[in-house]
Structure 1
Amino acid sequence: MKRAEQVTFGGSGLNRAAHLRGDAAVMAQATAHPSARCLLVWRGKLLLHADGLDRLAWVPIDHPLVTDGPGGESDIPIFLGLDDTGAALFAHDISGWTAKGLDTSTVGAFVDKSEQQHPDLPEGQVFAELRRVMTRLSPRDAELAATAKAVIGWHSTHKFCARCGAASDMVQSGWQRSCPACGGQHFPRTDPVVIMLITHGNDVLMGRSPGWPEGMYSLLAGFVEPGETLEAAVRREVLEEAGIPVGRVGYLASQPWPFPASLMFGCEGEALARDIKIDPVELADAIWVGRSEMMQVFAGDHPTILPARKGAIAHFLLQNWLADTLD
Structure 2
Amino acid sequence: MTLTGTGGIDRAAHRRLDEAWLAAAWSHPTTRVFVVSGGQALIEDTGDGCTELVTMPSFDAPVTESHRYFLGVDPEGVAYFALQKDALPGRMDDIARPAGLREAGVLLPERDAELLVHAVALENWQRLHRFCSRCGERTVIAAAGHVRRCPACGAEHYPRTDPAVIMLVTDAHDRALLGRQVHWPEGRFSTLAGFVEPGESIEQAVVREVGEEVGVEVPVEGVAYVGSQPWPFPSSLMLGFTARASSSRIQVDGHEIGEARWFSRDDLRAAFASGEVLPPSGISIAARLVERWYGEPLPRPGR
Q: Which one of 54, 58, 62 corresponds to residue 61 of structure 1?
A: 58
Give per-residue Cα distances to partners, 1:125-175, cap 9 Å, x unaligned.
221122113122211111111111111111111111111211111100001
Q: Which one of 146, 170, 181 corresponds to residue 199 of structure 1?
A: 170
The CA deviation at 1:29 is: 1.1
Q: Is the 8 A contact 1:9 1:142 kept in 2?
A: no
Is 1:77 equivalent to 2:68 in the alignment? Answer: yes
The CA deviation at 1:62 is: 2.8
TM-score, normalization by structure 1: 0.84
Distance 1:296 1:310 in 2: 19
Distance 1:279 1:258 in 2: 26
Distance 1:40 1:122 in 2: 17
Q: Is the 8 A contact 1:9 1:146 kept in 2?
A: no
Distance 2:61 2:215 in 1: 56
User: Residue in 2 aligned with 1:225?
Assistant: 197
TM-score, normalization by structure 2: 0.90
Q: Which one of 296, 310, 326 corresponds to residue 270 of structure 2?
A: 296
After alignment, is 172-181 or 301-310 more displaced? 301-310
> 1:238-317 maps to which residues of 2 (within 5 A)?
238-247=210-219, 248-297=222-271, 300-317=272-289
**1:265 maps to amino acid:** L
Identity %: 40
Distance 1:90 1:175 in 2: 12
In structure 2, relative to structure 1, the CA distance for the partners of 1:132 and 1:169 (3 Å cut) is same
Q: Which one of 141, 145, 163 corresponds to residue 170 of structure 1?
A: 141
**1:88 maps to amino acid:** A
In structure 2, relative to structure 1, the CA distance for the partners of 1:160 and 1:88 (3 Å cut) is same
Q: Is the 8 A contact 1:42 1:127 kept in 2?
A: no
User: Residue in 1 aligned with 2:31?
Assistant: 36
Q: Which runs of 5+ in 1 are unaligned?
A: 1-5, 100-117
The CA deviation at 1:7 is: 4.0
User: Residue in 1 aligned with 2:13?
Assistant: 18
Is 1:158 equivalent to 2:158 in the alignment? Answer: no
User: Residue in 1 aligned with 2:159?
Assistant: 188
Distance 2:235 2:51 in 1: 22
Q: Which runs of 5+ in 2 are unaligned?
A: 298-303
Q: Is the 8 A contact 1:197 1:219 kept in 2?
A: yes
The CA deviation at 1:324 is: 8.4
